[in-house]
Structure 1
């Protein structure tokens, strides 16, 4: 797959940047995207295209620009995403819609833009970056869990719908990695008069610590390369600490209420 053209949304920082740098070092032609090119005048790691996953016109423009340059798109990594935390009762609905627009609608729009080109070339791979949080409803991260879980499910459907065209879809769910997602996410303020003040405040602190002490995002980049080099990718991949991946096994084998109790104990709820 060396020399193949890779498009990575949200490629200017965090996991997306790590994926791009690593794949470029392996000989791939890498293009990343960012919502605002003017913020990255000195970005030299690989070429950036201006694209906002919430704006279909910018998606179509960036894909057309890439096709004009390279004539093809071999791999799409739908990485752009946004964090959101808070008690669901107190989360403004417009923020819920924004999160789904980025984490769910965005990857769908980008996938729909590249599919005609992949179908024409009779090959292509789409890797949707989801989250281990998408496999369970986490307290005070329920909206994030739901948006990533929805992306996991729709990817399963897209796999079956596009298989006959020589196109592969797969999910890659990371655990906690050391990125800037905590600083960039929307979080409901911890309000003293709120009935959720103490449990949410403590959980928010714990979530931030998990990200701060997360693993090197290059581990995700290595997994992306492994998927690219796999002839027939699996439906789901996970990358993260052992206990984070083990929690998914426990969810499969334990009764629902027992698993719920484990989560509540973990978050001290």
Structure 2
């Protein structure tokens, strides 16, 4: 069988780049996307296409170019995303909208543009990269949690809507991995006169430390390959440190207020 064609949004760095590089080494034909192709003129790991997932026309143009080159699309990996932290009260609405545009509406734009080809082929796989943070409302990361949680839920709907067409859909939720996400994350500034100054400041330092100490993103890539090779992928997958994955189980079994207490205690470590 010919090599499968894979499209990875946000493929120029971080988890997306790790997935693309790993799949390329394992015989897949990989295309990644980036908002600014000129910034990556020396990128050699796999081919990049210019795409801004927030702009439907940009998405359509990139998908058309891919299909012109390859005539098919076997695997779509929605990985492009942005981080955002801050007290809800002090986070500007334009930053909230940008986070949802990128993390939630963006993947939907790419899915909409990809489905006609997958239906035509009568097969295809969509993997939405979400986050373990999408399973719980984290203090000062509520917008990020909500955007990733929304993507988890809509994947459940999409699976049922597309099952008759031979298309499989699933989510993969990573925990903390050592990437450059912190550099691109929007941080609401810590204001001197803010009632959240001490609590938000302490948690912000903890968030960055968790990312810096995170695992090798190739772990995510290996999980992606496992999913691609499955005949019938499950609805949800998680990858990350044991306690990060276990935190989801704890939420299911503990009373809400107990779980809330654990999150607050962990955030203040």
The equivalent of 2:219 in structure 1 is 219
1:121-172 CA-to-partner distances (Å, cap 9, x unmatched) read 0000000000000000000000000000000000000000000000000000
Residues 15 and 2 of structure 1, relative CA distance in 2, 3 Å threshold: farther
Q: Residue 44 of structure 1 corresponds to which residue in structure 2?
A: 44
Aligned residues: 269
Partner residue, 2:5: 5
Task: Tell me by how many angstroms 1:2 deviates.
Answer: 6.6
**Pairwise CA RMSD of aligned residues?**
0.9
Q: What are structure 2's unaligned runs of at least 5 residues?
A: none
Aligned to 1:258: 258
List structure 1 segments (4+ residues) > 3 angstroms apart after TM superposition.
none
Structure 1 segment 14-163 matched on structure 2, within 5 A = 14-163=14-163
Per-residue CA distance 1:199-228 (angstroms, 9 max, x = gap): 000000000000001000000000000000
TM-score (ref. length: structure 1): 0.99
Alignment gaps of 5+ in structure 1: none
* 1:199 equivalent in structure 2: 199
Partners of 2:184 and 2:53 lie apart in 1 by 16
- For 2:168, the equivalent position in structure 1 comes to 168
In the alignment, the residues of structure 2 paired with residue 8 and residue 160 of structure 1 have an alpha-carbon distance, to the nearest angstrom, of 23
Query: Residues 43 and 268 of structure 1: is their aligned pair in 2 closer, same or farther, counting only changes over 3 Å?
Result: same
Determine the structure 2 residue equivalent to 1:177: 177
| In structure 2, distance between residues paired with 1:88 and 1:183 | 20
2-structure distance, mates of 1:197, 1:150: 29
Give TM-score, length-normalised by structure 2: 0.99
Partner of 1:188: 188
SS at match of 2:115: helix
Q: Which secondary structure state, in structure 2, belongs to the residue aligned with residue 168 of structure 1?
A: strand
Contact 1:2 1:28 in 2 (8 A): no
